[in-house]
Amino acid sequence: YVFGRKKATEVAHVVWEQVIQKGDMVIDATCGNGNDTLAMLKMVMNDSDDCDGYVYAMDIQKDAIESTSSLLDQTLGLKEKERVKLFNICHSKMEEIVPKNSRVRMVAFNLGYLPGGNKSIITVSDTTLSALKAAERILMPGGLISLVVYIGHPGGREELDVVEAFGSGLPVSDWVCCKFQMLNRPLAPVLVFMFKRE
Ligand code: SAM
């Protein structure tokens, strides 16, 4: 239930649940401490032993990859962890690591810096835009590009402008693009969703 959730990421997870199906392949474009990766894995995995579904998770920081890996170690069994592929790369290069002809159900971005980490390593408009273009190319019909965009830090609003301009430019025949913004919390992160029609 969306309005019962306080955090933007929790609201995003409610939306993801409506789109992701068991057995899907999804991409976490900014895995950070691994919370979103873990949430995605739960959505793609079958309860049965065959453990379908994959999360391809990436981050430009080695520390973030280690942090995600240790969260997964603490939370998951070996077989489940095998369903997460971790990559220490820039998300603009996502097409280099996702197997050709994959049916990618979702590409999710949680922009900004790593909480509790180095605040100077931050997503920037140029590579965010390149990554959005890559996501547009690899997403399957019926898929979702999801973004949590922070606007409280320098450069945050400019990055939101770039994200919004990208979404506004997608053809209406193929895409449904919308944003979710807290009117009574002006500095709260903004959610942007771009659904690719079936
Ligand atoms: N989703 C994460 C979680 O659940 O813990 C939080 C992500 S954090 C807000 C943003 C992350 O984006 C940081 O870990 C940062 O290193 C990463 N990042 C910054 N620029 C990047 C880039 N060009 N490509 C991939 N990751 C990037």
Low-confidence ranges of the chain (pLDDT < 50): none
Q: Please tell me the predicted confidence (pLDDT) of residue 49.
A: 60
Which pLDDT value is given to residue 117? 86
pLDDT value at residue 50:
63
Measured CA to CA, the distance from residue 163 to residue 174 in angstroms comes to: 18
| Beta bridge partner(s), residue 54 | 25
* 19 CB near ligand 1 (under 6 Å): no
Q: What pLDDT is stored for residue 51 in this prediction?
A: 59
Give Cα separations from 2 to 8, 126, 147, 179 (angstroms). Answer: 10, 31, 16, 14
Burial (CB < 10 A; 0-12, 13-18, 19+), residue 99, is exposed
Q: Is 67 in the pocket of ligand 1 (CB under 6 A)?
A: no
Cross-strand bridge partners of residue 144: 106, 195
Nearest CA owner, ligand 1 atom 13: 114
* Residue 7 neighbours by CB under 8 Å, 6+ apart: none
The pLDDT value given to residue 1: 65
Question: Structure pTM?
Answer: 0.96
- Determine the pLDDT at residue 128: 98
- In this predicted structure, what is the pLDDT of residue 6? 75
Measure 150 CA to ligand 1 centroid, in angstroms: 12
* Predicted-complex ipTM score: 0.99
